[in-house]
Structure 1
């Protein structure tokens, strides 16, 4: 029933569409009982029939099309959309997705007791692709914060629509913050020092929130500096502060089961009542916990209120944010909502199919081409399409159900006629050594996904072998479930040549023969109890592929990953190499058919050293959705331009990448900004079928003040014989920085399409603050005066034009450390320290990684003139051995502070000592930490401490 049709006696102020939304929200909030308000804090907020308020659910998945709800248009993975570098295209993809989400919302009947499909879309993912081994690499746009923020804002605007009052859908940014590993993701801590926090991780979120395009955010599973993201002060201090000028508050939701993780996995709080209260006070507005069971989380929050851990004001604040969003989504104004009439005909609409094809095509990246591509239809009539991904499309966890599937082989066949399709997979029979029976009464096609993990697909039915409820079954057409039951390891038996054991990856159990009835079960816990199987190859996949390639004019080898195997949510990749079987297949084909193009279809980068050295052409696309085959065929045949550019670096196979849990992009050397070894394919790389020339790089001013701006102009000319696209990338770098500056940093980009023989003059507006770095002394962004270079490039590794720029202003003063507190985390350099939480609610501190080894902090250019003493803020639990903190310069020791026991890691005290001798001038100050303790900060004093080397009263919260 619409509010306008209610009887006058039932119409209440919150029904009045003419009132200011804030007044309507306040009126509705005041009419809700306390129990009704608390109930709204769960993901599944119940209806309030007495007020005509419907049930509401937070969250639908819509990363690259509507997912989990049935057939819907499937666009390329987010990393593929990132490869387009096309903000308008990404906006249009999001618009189509939100239109289909509206159709599901209105026309898909809710399940019993559930709300209609949520119009709050849990997308886009704004986490940066720091490490290409991240299992969820497919979900992000880029390793670069500027690139990511631009595309994320475009996606949010497409989801939200253009109506000034109502939202078509409400985009939620995932996952806040510094989340880029899956292994033990709920218990690992991302160590993020202030420079990395502000210049890198926050930098991807900040512009999207500040633009007003995002309506919410989801907290991440991991911890940051020892504190779970679901109780992070950054939710209020950063996210919500950025949103204030937009006039709308962010609606912040938890990730699934993360509130319970605060106790169950992380042991950060002693009980769930305390943890839920802390999350609510930290800014979590909706608890996705315990599925449909609202009673448990709501009961915890109710008890938190009864125990005085939260107040009604805390509850009201969260509910108010939810209600404000629901008003913006048109729930209370269906007669005015411009999107309320969207019907089911929009799902898989022809326009959306065309958009899916365009997005898939624009995301294809040509990594290498020695002239093989585009294929000449006349000269290459016989095409062999080979590989485990040649004639199949896979859905990832956040894909919808594809309406149809155009594989690479199908797309090429449609374009050129008949093609030869060969998977290159071995077909094997597994026969029980005990019974002599054939496993499953069928032969299996074996797909090797690397790390010895395989899937087995029936040669008779095409369905996968799986382990369910302790038995082996052949039933699933495709692998797509949270728990993957269909992956196995064929383990050779050392003392029995030709025999293998069959182990299920999910359960870790081996196949065995039930002695009672001869059934094959998956219950054996050890190799000794497992059945031995004779493995007979009835079709040699590599031999079949070689024969097909030898008989063809050109071979297209399609390799890559399955999005739910060996690299997915909950599981990181172990490396960047292609699966060994795929690499062997590629080499076997190339040996007999030099005219071989490699097409990599994957969720993440691979190390393609051999292919780059030996093959004439290499192409990459993400899993591109339903139109993958049409897109690749168009690019391979030259009907479309390879317009994609890499959104992340593709490293070489022998590149020793940093540890996955080293989140310090600066010191570890992550991404194109700081990596010290040239990658195989750099960030922004991508070739074209035409040629582009850049000329006439001009700066509107070569000297600008720190608070100024300038125009960067350049002309792009298409000097080739066909129209094409290029991404003009503008980078900057400081040439003589006092800090460890990025080797290069993207500051702007634009995708242009230029006809053959034409040129286009481009102008980029460059505010000087895009050159800023986070100044740890001032606790703010600062543009240092000095010399910079503006680089116009085709990629981070292909610099075309360079212009020099001088920024004027006052030189930075030495670091001020006298009679003021300096936070320990505001160091310039360090070794052997880990960043930790100062309290459960706020503040960061440092501690030695290994208390048995010294750790160091460096504070550069500190003005020590007049310093005679030092005070430190420390916490230390009782333990063996001594703990001390040493202060010294390059040539001498200044003093040693003995660290007292405080009894708890969150109990802080101040200790002090007199310095050894007078100190004058500006010096690099080094601190050495010895023993097991935490350091929140220090203060150099111009007067002697009250008690040398002794503990003082407990210090203030070291926030």
Structure 2
């Protein structure tokens, strides 16, 4: 007899709908197998032929952490292009390289954790480089383009599956695992949710990653918003992947739950489907899920829900249909097209902030290229390894010729003298082992960081002259003459062994601390001081060495020498993405570091034709009046230097635009944890001061005129058109921006709000008519009195121009809408968080699973105002739902206190407990009628959830 071939299981049948195939596969998995799938590293199920799978592949601006790949500009630089089509092509290139790399290394994942759509509300945020813009409309437009590129355009199979980061209201690194962002309903809906929503609704998102922080007192990993908002925006299965270590944080740092079983169950029920914790070891997560099942905190159906979402992504990626997957044979990696795209993206990201005519540079210009980043091509934490690199110096050498460009880095050259009269000395590189050297015996700097087989520093009579760079905030690096940075390995010895500062904990940064007649050298990574011992220089808890710092040459002297010989000086300044502003570390100031200010002043004093080129992950506040030209670009990836040189030379007209406001001074900034962009008058939407450079700003080598603005409202949209003409003498791109402003708002509205934009390329004399169809919903705001979106009827300014402050055309459109109505407090009362104004309060969680309450900040005193409350013919009683200790004082229209409600003075059951979720309802007599403003003053740590009224 001939053996029969076993039937193909339905989950392997490509002709069945994915939903049926997922149901079939799910039914074949055991409970233990399904539980194992919930860890980031899901193991294979060999009996079913199901491969191992992991969620998470970093791909913010290129494939990261997996070796060489094409490196594109940082996300904030991609945002500065204001070019959605370009960003779509970048996403497409990144996804193709992901596929090509996976073909050679199955550790490369297809579930990519990108893009970051957190809004750049605060420019001191350490991860500013990862976001696109402070504006939700621009952020969602760029993010949507990138996700479409990552997904690919096949109707069934995705090239990669993008996950948006980081849900929600995440804009600080300081205490990020324990701080809570207080987000009032208007800010939640109009600002923070909006960037996520429009991208999800566009249909190319596979899921989201919750952020480490809490929002309104509740950790994002147990947020009801995942269910109430995120999953309500789409019918597609969205995969929610936890951030690394965040599941354990719920107990270990946030102390939100007493046990990990409770925390894991709560996360799963809230909507987390994949747990990123304990690296590749899934045993602890699976044990917690099993424990939650045993305690009745979860059911198998809850686990099935999460596994189904993960399987949905895997089927869409073509894992079970390799013969039908159109992306399976993708091998596009480091192609000429990708290299050209990296350069194009870098060029389009450059923002010309100021130009008094010194730019573009003439072909015969003698250029002095100076500054700490002049010969650097910096990478950040989420960069891939460079295959190609181009520094500003290399780009200018290439463009103008090495004979017309002089260089001075501007580092301080120093010797470190010990108390014994000897000097720190780097042993000769010949002492390195053969393993450290490449095939031709050349030192491979990429292999040096963290090595312990290199000899540590010693001392001798002459010593080594180090390049010292002060990066600001007291943080410095020391570099040997051959380019190696001083670093500390796990054994504690100090070696010249790193090609660049880097790593999760940077081991290449130090502090010089004045001590007696010299300095102590403190290693930032370990917090220990450098000491000199018989077996070499190391960091230790005892016997710190007192060094005398001998300056052989100041950086500004070298800069001045080359600057005075040049026609034009280009000072390349900015930040190292691993120092003073990065993941885990916020900045403390907008100011340019003092070392770089010294170099800039020296160049300017030696040569008035000094151009400042800022290469940075975030805005700076610096003196601009005496400089004839200023440019900014993010760290632009592998082609940054070539791109900058081509802009300086005029080969390309700059057309990048600022994606966030550049403020003049730290005093203009809100508190880092003040997430109330409306009340705090934050971002270009509400800021009432004068910025250093406004949102949307950017100059060109051409000039553009705007004309013929028309508007027409019908079919649920406002149709806007205007004409842009290139009146200059070079081809250039213009970024035409359309804004609006409510003329007669009854509540605080943005002083200017981006509706849409278009980047167009025009030859000299060429003109184009731009047409936009803006949905009328773009003019809505979140009405807290109704708990819904509302558009006010009346006039709206329609503003067209080249930036948020450079408005060239304006008209007024009369739009229909719903008029304001008094709050129907007799029917609904007042939810505490639905205030119109507040002072000194924060929003907290009403319960661990849902709802908001309000409390006085730091348990002191705060005030809430609710406008236009309709008491009808009159009320006689007020009730307040509260928890904890303290008091609520009630007044109307800012008048005298009419009632005081306090659990401590009521007849309610014992309120001396410390449970913040044990609410009681208090009542007081109060008489009022008509429409009045309700003022509530909160005293002490009491939580207020709701206020009711009755006649």
Using structure 1 for the length normalisation, give the TM-score.
0.93
CA drift of 1:796 comes to 1.1
Alignment map for 1:292-371 (pairs within 5 Å): 292-343=280-331, 346-371=332-357
Distance 1:558 1:869 in 2: 70
Counterpart of 2:393 (choices 396, 406, 409) is 409
SS at match of 2:249: helix
Aligned partner of 1:522 in structure 2 is 539
Cα distance between partner residues in 2 of 1:45 and 1:831: 48
Q: What is the DSSP-based 3-state SS (H/G/I as helix, E as strand, rest coil) of the residue aligned with 1:700?
A: strand
CA contact (8 A) 1:387 1:422 kept: yes
1:931: how far off? 2.8
Paired position in structure 2 for 1:209: 200
1:908: which partner in 2? 919
Distance 1:810 1:180 in 2: 34
Asked whether the equivalents of residues 352 and 700 of structure 2 are also in contact (C-alpha less than 8 Å), the reply is yes
Select which of 861, 868, 877 maps to 2:875: 868
2:240 matches 1:252: yes
Q: 2:232 aligns with which of 238, 241, 252?
A: 241
2:821 aligned with 1:821: no
Contact 1:91 1:157 in 2 (8 A): yes
* 1:858 correspondence with 2:865: yes
Structure 2 match to 1:58: 55
Q: For 2:216 and 2:618, how far apart are their aligned partners in 1?
A: 27
> Is structure 2 residue 582 aligned with structure 1 residue 582?
no
Aligned to 2:803: 795
2:548 counterpart residue number: 534
Measure how far apart 1:467 and its partner are: 5.4
Query: Is 1:155 the counterpart of 2:136 in the alignment?
Result: no
Distance 2:277 2:347 in 1: 39
1:698 pairs, out of 710, 713, 716, with: 710
Q: Secondary structure at the match of 1:132?
A: coil
Unaligned stretches of 5+ residues in structure 2: 427-462, 905-909
The residue number in structure 1 matching 2:791 is 783
On the 8 A contact 1:673/1:744 being kept in 2, the answer is yes
Match of 1:835 in 2: 843
Give the one of 651, 655, 674 matched to 1:662: 674
User: Where do residues 750-789 of structure 1 align in structure 2 (5 Å cutoff)?
Assistant: 750-789=758-797
- Is 2:492 aligned against 1:470? yes
Report if the CA contact (8 A) 1:666-1:740 is conserved. yes
Q: Secondary structure at the match of 2:799?
A: strand
Aligned-partner Cα distance in 2 for 1:229–1:350: 42
Secondary structure in structure 2 of the residue aligned to 1:857? strand
Mapped pair 1:44 → 2:28 = no
* Structure 1, unaligned runs of 5 or more: 1-5, 111-115, 943-959
Matched, 1:433 2:452: no
Distance 2:687 2:854 in 1: 25
Kindly report which structure 2 residues correspond to 1:89-104, keeping only aligned pairs within 5 A, or say none.
89-104=86-101
Residues 807-956 of structure 1 aligned to structure 2 (within 5 Å): 807-853=815-861, 855-877=862-884, 883-900=887-904, 902=911, 903=913, 904-915=915-926, 917=927, 919-942=928-951
Superposed CA deviations along residues 175-212 of structure 1, whole A, max 9, x for unmatched, are 00000000110001000000000000001000111111
Taking the aligned partners of 1:868 and 1:99, their CA distance within structure 2 comes to 66
Inter-partner Cα distance in structure 2 for 1:490 and 1:676 = 40
| TM-score, scaled relative to structure 2 | 0.93
Partner Cα separation in structure 2 for residue 760 and residue 819 of structure 1: 54
Report the CA distance between 1:357 and its aligned residue. Answer: 0.4
User: What are the residue-to-residue correspondences of 1:608-623 with 2, within 5 Å?
Assistant: 608=622, 610=623, 612-623=624-635
| 1:371-410 equivalent positions in 2, closer than 5 A | 371-378=357-364, 380=365, 382-410=366-394
* 1:182–1:572 CA contact under 8 A, matched in 2: yes
Task: Give CA deviations for 1:146-188 in whole Å, capped at 9, x if unaligned.
Answer: 0000000000000000000000000100000000000110001
**Structure 2 counterpart SS, 1:729:** strand
Matched position secondary structure for 2:827: coil
Single out whichever of 823-832 and 530-539 deviates more from structure 2: 530-539
Note if contact 1:867-1:940 (Cα within 8 Å) is conserved in structure 2.
no
Shift of 1:13: 0.7
TM-superposed CA distance for 1:462, in Å, is 3.5
Please state whether the residue corresponding to 1:819 is helix, strand or coil. helix
Name 1:957's counterpart in structure 2.
Answer: none
Q: How far 1:893 moved relative to its partner?
A: 4.1
Match of 1:283 among 254, 265, 271: 271
Q: Paired residue for 1:190, among 181, 185, 191?
A: 181
- In 2, Cα distance between the equivalents of 1:751 and 1:869? 60
Q: Secondary structure at the match of 2:932?
A: strand
1:466–1:487: 8 Å Cα contact kept in structure 2? no
Q: Are the equivalent residues in 2 in contact too, given 1:455–1:465 (CA < 8 A)?
A: no
Aligned residue among 454, 462, 469 for 1:447: 469
SS at match of 2:134: coil
Structure 1 residue 103 displacement after superposition? 1.1
Q: SS of the counterpart of 2:608?
A: coil
Q: 3-state SS of the aligned residue for 1:667?
A: coil
Displacement, 1:897?
2.4
Q: Measured at CA, do residues 119 and 446 of structure 1 come closer, stay the same or move farther in structure 2, by a change above 3 Å?
A: same
Q: Distance in 1 between matches of 2:523 and 2:896?
A: 61
1:309 aligned counterpart, secondary structure:
coil
Deviates more, 1:660-669 or 1:902-911: 902-911
In structure 1, C-alpha distance between the alignment counterparts of 2:418 and 2:660, rounded to whole Å: 47
Q: What are the residue-to-residue correspondences of 1:117-132 with 2, within 5 Å?
A: 117-132=108-123
Taking the aligned partners of 1:439 and 1:731, their CA distance within structure 2 comes to 60
Match of residue 502 from structure 1: 521
- Counterpart CA distance in 2 for 1:141 and 1:81 is 7
Shift of 1:925: 1.4
User: Residues 871, 430 of structure 1: CA spacing in aligned structure 2 closer, same or farther, 3 A cutoff?
Assistant: same
- CA–CA distance in structure 2, aligned partners of residues 8 and 206 of structure 1: 48
Closer, same or farther: CA 713–39 of 1 in aligned 2, 3 Å: same
Correspondence 1:23 to 2:45: no
**Could you say which residue in structure 1 is the equivalent of 2:720?**
712
For residues 46 and 367 of structure 2, what CA distance do their matches in structure 1 show?
A: 64
Across the two proteins, how many residue pairs are aligned to each other? Answer: 904
Q: Separation in 1 of the partners of 2:473 and 2:829?
A: 51
Instruction: Find the residue that maps to 1:198 and give its secondary structure.
Output: helix
